[in-house]
Amino acid sequence: HWAAQQAASYFLNVHQRLSWNNLNAGCYVYQRLGWDNASALSGNIIIGEANSISYRDDNNTLDIVAHEYAHLVTETSAGLVYKKEQGALNESFSDIFGVACYEFNFGITNTIWLNGYDRTDVTNPNLHLVYRDLSNPKNYDQPDTYLGTNWYSTTGGYGDDNWGVHTNSGVQNYMFYLLVSGKDGVNENGWPYSVTGIGFNDARRIAYLALTAYLTNNSQYI
């Protein structure tokens, strides 16, 4: 509940959004036993306790809960359909605002780009159960380049994970990391890039504006 409160506070103080639907609606938070996951829909956030896998901490870290809260924001703004590229963007915006909410509370840390870092192995607190790395998506089998290495095909029959929504989100996640931090390099297509980071304050406002003012339910990466 604390993490959900912080997520609501972040969207209010940074983006002037009145709760998840911008209409001051309440948000209900539940804990689900024996489930190693988290979800959100229509004002409800469900956090898995993960006790079916005894060594795993539950999914109640700030960035994970804020990630779920951001799904509610997406649901009531762009409404990105939860499949293929639209779903990847949906997931990415949640990762982005999860990180942004964490930074709003704790500042920039060495582990801020690691989604779920504060979730640990109960038997080994030094083992962090990270889901994704926005600064280097390939560390967790995601692509950092559109249609590049680790890209999940969105063509053909029904695919796993709604055609890889938790995989292809890495492309926009990496974009946001570059936008915040900046970097020089060469991408998989052999194209050199030099990005000057603009910091969290401006980058997160760009992300919020894109989600709430420009994108529609079937928007894709283009």
SS3 147: coil
- Backbone Cα Rg of the chain: 17
User: Residues 6 or more apart from 114 whose CB is under 8 A from it?
Assistant: 128, 130, 132, 133, 134
166 is catalytic: yes
Active-site residue (options: 15, 68, 75, 103): 68
Active-site residue (options: 15, 67, 71, 166): 166
CA angle 74, 205, 133 (to 5 degrees): 70
68 is catalytic: yes
User: Residues 6 or more apart from 161 whose CB is under 8 A from it?
Assistant: 152, 167
Give, for 2, the enclosing helix (H) or strand (E). Answer: helix 2-15
Give, for 195, the enclosing helix (H) or strand (E). Answer: strand 192-196
Residue pair 74/57 in contact (Cβ under 8 Å)? The answer is: no
**Environment class of 39 (CB within 10 Å of its CB; exposed 0-12, middle 13-18, buried 19+):** middle
Which residues are identified as catalytic? 68, 166
